[in-house]
Amino acid sequence: MTAGMKHRNIFLIGMMGSGKTSTGRELARLLDYSFVDMDGLIEKEAGTTISVLFQSRGEEYFRGLESRKLQAVCNKEHQVVSTGGGIILSAGNRDAIMAAGTAIYLKTSLDWLVRRLRGSKDRPLLAGEGLETKLASLAAEREKLYQSAAILEILTDAKTPGETAAEIVKMLKA
């Protein structure tokens, strides 16, 4: 661990397409923490993809699984955790994250979200027409929640995951 840093866990929060997973992997490497991808954990436990889970069991079932997995993750330390974009919808999840470590909000403009998510097949909440409108309404609904849980905020727009991760390390040391 870098001298002066005592973060039990680092949680990356933010919209789909903000770069949480790729940045998280880089950040874990830089900090020598383990890397945890929440969506990956959920898919592993469910034995199927998030899209199929949404279709077959519905969003509420998925949110239950997500909260349970988060509780398990919060019992461990020295992890960089890439969360699903909707994790902050539940007050219980926000409290768990704030108690178990430091949340960093990866903020991304609507233009860049659209750019990154166009053609994405594995985001059930964005399926169908009107990608930009859907993203805009999710972002408007969630912005305050991301900000309320996060200690740091970083704009990811044109940055590579490596650049974002390096910037986070710098901010954490400051």
- Binding site residues, ligand S3P, CB under 6 A: 16, 20-21, 39, 50, 84-86, 123-125
Closest CB to ligand S3P among residues 21, 169? 21
Nearest approach in angstroms of CB 87 to ligand S3P is 7
Given a contact cutoff of 8 angstroms between Cβ atoms, the answer to whether 104 and 167 are in contact is: no
Q: Which residue has the tokens 């169908």?
A: 128
From residue 20, give the alpha-carbon distance in Å to each of 47, 142, 172.
Answer: 22, 16, 17
From residue 114, give the alpha-carbon distance in Å to each of 51, 52, 118, 127.
Answer: 19, 23, 6, 13
Euclidean distance between CA atoms 139 and 111, whole angstroms: 12
Nearest approach in angstroms of CB 148 to ligand S3P is 16
Q: Where are the beta strands (DSSP E) in 78-137?
A: 79-82, 102-107
Nearest approach in angstroms of CB 101 to ligand S3P is 18
Closest CB to ligand S3P among residues 2, 120? 120
Closest CB to ligand S3P among residues 21, 67? 21
Closest CB to ligand S3P among residues 31, 65? 65
Nearest approach in angstroms of CB 94 to ligand S3P is 14
